[in-house]
Structure 1
Amino acid sequence: MSTTTESSSFYDNLEQMSISELLANMNKEDQTVPLAVAKSLPQIERLVAAIVPKMEQGGRLFYIGAGTSGRLGILDASECPPTYGVPHDLVIGIIAGGDTAIRKAVENAEDDPAQAWEDIQKFGFNENDSVIGIAASGTTPYVIGGLKAANEAGLLSGCITCNAGSPLAAVAQLPVEVVVGPEFVTGSTRMKSGTAQKLVLNMISTSVMIKLGKVKGNKMVDMQLSNEKLVNRGTRMIMDATGLPAEKAKEMLLEHGSVRAAVNAFEAGKK
């Protein structure tokens, strides 16, 4: 099939452009991405609205993808535990070819339609799990096969793709299609398509975590205290919420292990 992501760039003779021209033209193209995402907000809303109740019932969220798409899913999943204090197996990113493929391309890994479901099954699965397939082209066999198997197992399925009317969107129960147009370098979907996928993944995981109660006001009250910067951030949050001086706020944070627990303890002590 003819796809937008593989269509010829609006620019030519790139090697003859100055550095300034290259940067300006790439930036011009990048500015179109949020506008494309905006058109897909109703699709993203439907997907998030379906995922939240599944996760409230003990479900997990799987991302499956190959290449750049797989790496973006792993990135989003890996940032949920430190940001929101959730278990590492609540949001799971899986890439065709396994963890080796995070750094190095694994030949033909994306061409096996049965492998994604095998990879998911290594984690076990339950009826409340959700699977989001990520593929800029919407034609990746690994991702399409994974969603087909997820559907057959009774799981919720969604996708993020950058072509309209793709085979992947046809398989997904709740597709998200963000059509960003031709890439600056023809077919280089790590560029605008990758940026669009990152934006959508940010929206999905952040919205889900907020609706699961992992944010209070606008603060990451369950974040992991994995370095001094985050301890200092948590201390400031407690100071803002309680009026305590910095030394006492930090003491309570370290004693209770999270901003939420420290503030709850402070409120309980006032009663």
Structure 2
Amino acid sequence: MNYLIVLKCLQHYRCTCFRILFGGNHLYVFNNPNKSGARKDITYEEAQKEIAKGAGIGISSEGGKSKADLILEEELVSMMPLVYRANAMAVELKRNVKFELVLVSPEMRGLQEGLTEVGLKKFHLSFVHNLSEDTRFMWEKARFMNRYYGMQEMYENKQDGEEWNMPKERDPFYEAPDSKSFLGSAIVFLQPLAYLMDSEETYPIVDFTGEELGELSVQLSPCNSSGKELIGDYVNDPKEIIGQNYGFMIKIQSARGLPRRIDKVIYEIKCNGIEWL
């Protein structure tokens, strides 16, 4: 098939070369012969970095980049074409879903600041949004890659005229609405426990983009070694209880203001690398 490509630009801009991307892996550079200016040859990787920056998911170029930033940038550049292709295949196969690359900070994954060095400064996942049902899921990169190869096989079977449609349980685009998915996190401050004081506070639930989704009401109570709550045994200085055996009880009172699409919430609690459900 033949296509006519029309490129428009404002007169006061010096348009000397355009990046033209078809799908996820056909990238061209158009040099306008009627415009003067230095012609610069670019590589596919450089163009992908430009696209990532234009999409707002590039790494900041201010100052020197750490090794972790460079690794993350390389991963973003390599993943972007796959996401483009997955979205294109979804349209072709009439699967009403959309994939987006996102970055998730270590804090959103319950990690402490001092533990997030090389490779863990930021963590990106594939975000799936079902347009008709308004259901959203977070996929780790490995999960997305496993599904991607299934999407590709499905698409190629259709192109070859073979049987390609699958039941929902085998469809790589499908995710059951009741599947577990990361919603957000709330940071709970434990300082009152250091003084053997109980507390009941409300904390914002924040998703991976920093948007507040709701609020979490949490009650903290200090306990003795047998699990009995301590009432009125306050201390003026936390150093007074160093070396003594104490525990604490966490009570999730409520989660309010969550989106209507959320049917059931499972709480995962992390403290100093220890995890409870």
TM-score by length of 1: 0.21
Greater C-alpha Rg? 2
Compare the two structures and name the one with the higher helix fraction. Answer: 1
Larger RCO (alpha carbons 8 Å, 6+ apart): 1
Higher strand share: 2
**TM-score when scaled to structure 2?**
0.21
